[in-house]
Each structure stands twice: as C-alpha cells, then as structure tokens.
C-alpha cells in the first residue's frame, strides 16, 4: 500500500471534486468504479457529510490522506477500506474528529479531516500503512492487521457501523482470495507534493 498526504491546495481541490461527484450508498445507478462514500465519523453522517466537507473546502481547511493498494495486492472491500481509514485516522490523532472516507477507485481511498494546528503525524501514518501492508502480505485479515499495527480499538467495519452505509464489494474484488505476497516486501511511500 502507498499513503499520500496531499498539500493544502490539492486537498481542497480533491475535496471539491468529491463533494461534486461522490455517490452515496443506496443511490440509484451507482457503478463499481464510482467514487463512493464508505465511512463517516465525529458527527458527520450520511445526511450532512457533503455540506460539512463543502464548508471546509470553501475555507481551505481540509486535509486529505490517500491510501491505495499496489497492483500486486488484492483489492479490498469497502468494509476493509473503511477499517484501514479508521486505523489511519486513529494513528494521525483524528479518530474522534469529523471525517469522511471516500473510495475514489476500487484500489484507493481518501480520508478527509478538518485541517487544524495539530500535527497529522505523517511518520505514524507511514509506519501504520507499512505495518498493515506487511501483515496483509502474511495473510492476516484487514481487521487483525489494523489492530496489530497500533489501532487495537478499531474493529472491522460492518454495514450498521456508519449510518447505514453499504459496504458493497467492488466489481472484480475477491474477499476470499489470499493476499499475493510480493517477492520482496516493498514498504509504503509518502509522496511529497511538488512545489512551484
């Protein structure tokens, strides 16, 4: 897995596009490749997350963490993505803050949180995703890997956990397939934003 903390401007732009395009569970015509809200927290719910994120975007007060799987890794279900995102929120010190988790593609998810003066603990985010990646390569479940990687209070997400959201399986995903180990386990990478 790779993790990326977007710059403030890139976070704002990504949030604006998600507000405009992301689908919600049970919405008519949702396709497997559509950006889909898969989790909320800290007071954001199915009915208000879009407006809350829109307000943060207008104030340029949003941070976005993206996590994606590598081509050699199996696709995660929406419930597994939500579990990883909750573990990431815990690791960056934002588990109780307002947040939204959007699966942007079948192989990537973005965690949106309000920007503040508190540290986002990039080093902890990188270490967490690296530990989860290694544990998944060993064949652990996502919930086991997230708990063992330092977020013991995060349990596997289920449909009833987040305001009745659907955790439908992305097309082509195989939740029962064993993770494919890489020949040499590659650690995660934080991609640093370009500066002008």
For 133-180, how does the pLDDT look when each residue is reduced to its tens digit (9 = 90+)?
999 999 999 999 999 888 887 765 544 444 333 333 333 433 333 333
pLDDT per residue as tens digits for the range 92-133: 989 889 999 999 998 999 999 998 878 888 889 999 999 999
Topology given in CATH for the domain delimited by 2-148 = BirA Bifunctional Protein; domain 2 (3.30.930)
- Please answer whether residues 75 and 174 qualify as being in contact, where contact means their C-beta atoms are separated by less than 8 angstroms: yes
Q: Choose among 61, 105, 67: nearest CA to 88.
A: 67
- Please answer whether residues 112 and 50 qualify as being in contact, where contact means their C-beta atoms are separated by less than 8 angstroms: no
pTM of the model: 0.76
- Beta-carbon count within 10 A of 148 CB: 14
String of DSSP letters for 95-163: TTS-EEEEEEETTEEEEEEE--SS---HHHHHHHHHHHHHHHHTT--HHHHHHHTT-TT-----TTTST
The first and second tokens of residue 87, run together, are: 């573990």
- Sketch the domain layout of the chain as residue ranges: 2-148
């Amino acid at each position: 897995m790779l993790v990326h903390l977007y710059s403030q401007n890139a976070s704002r732009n990504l949030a604006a596009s998600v507000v405009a395009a992301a689908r919600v569970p049970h919405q008519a015509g949702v396709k497997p490749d559509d950006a889909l809200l898969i989790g909320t927290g800290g007071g954001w719910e199915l009915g208000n997350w879009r407006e809350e994120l829109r307000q943060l975007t207008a104030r340029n007060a949003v941070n976005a963490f993206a996590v994606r799987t590598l081509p050699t890794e199996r696709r995660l279900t929406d419930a597994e993505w939500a579990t990883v995102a909750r573990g990431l929120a815990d690791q960056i010190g934002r588990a109780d803050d307002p947040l939204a988790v959007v699966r942007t593609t079948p192989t990537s998810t973005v965690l949106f949180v309000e920007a503040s003066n508190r540290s986002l603990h990039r080093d902890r985010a990188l270490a967490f995703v690296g530990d989860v990646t290694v544990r998944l390569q060993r064949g652990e479940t996502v919930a086991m890997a997230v708990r063992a990687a330092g977020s013991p209070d995060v349990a596997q997400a289920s449909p009833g956990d987040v305001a009745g959201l659907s955790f439908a399986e992305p097309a082509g995903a195989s939740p029962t397939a064993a993770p494919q180990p890489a020949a040499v386990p590659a650690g995660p990478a934080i991609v640093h934003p370009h500066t002008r």
